[in-house]
Amino acid sequence: MHELLAQTLDAEDHPDRDGYVRAVRALALALLAPKTRSDVQTALLEWLIPTLSEDEAVLSSASLRGMSDWDEALHDAGVDMIADATAFATFLERTAACFEQRPEVTPNLRSMLQAKVQWRAKDRLRSRTLRQRRERAAQASPVEASGETQSQLIARLCVEKVIQSLGQEPQFADAFEGLLRGDSITEVADRTGLSRQQIYRLLARARDFIAEDQSKTRRADV
Helix (H) or strand (E) holding 81: helix 69-83
Q: What's the pLDDT band for 61 if we cut at 50, 70, 90? A: very low
Helix (H) or strand (E) holding 155: helix 150-166
Pick the more confident residue, 214 or 191: 191
Phi, psi of 193 (to 5 degrees): 85, 0
**E strand spans, 118-221:** none
- What does the alpha-carbon distance between residue 120 and residue 49 come to, in Å, rounded to a whole number? 14
Neighbours of 169 (CB within 10 A): 12
Say if residue 131's pLDDT is above 80: no
Q: pLDDT at position 202, please?
A: 78
Q: What's the pLDDT band for 29 if we cut at 50, 70, 90? A: very high
Pick the more confident residue, 190 or 148: 190
Q: pLDDT at position 150, please?
A: 58
- What does the alpha-carbon distance between residue 143 and residue 141 come to, in Å, rounded to a whole number? 6
Q: What is the pLDDT of residues 79-95, one digit of tens each?
A: 888 888 888 999 899 98
Pick the more confident residue, 207 or 111: 111
- What does the alpha-carbon distance between residue 179 and residue 152 come to, in Å, rounded to a whole number? 11
Do 78 and 117 form a contact (C-beta atoms < 8 A)? Answer: yes
Mean pLDDT, residues 178-198 taken together: 77
Comparing CA positions, the residue from 50, 48, 28 lying closest to residue 37 is 28
Mean pLDDT, residues 153-161 taken together: 67
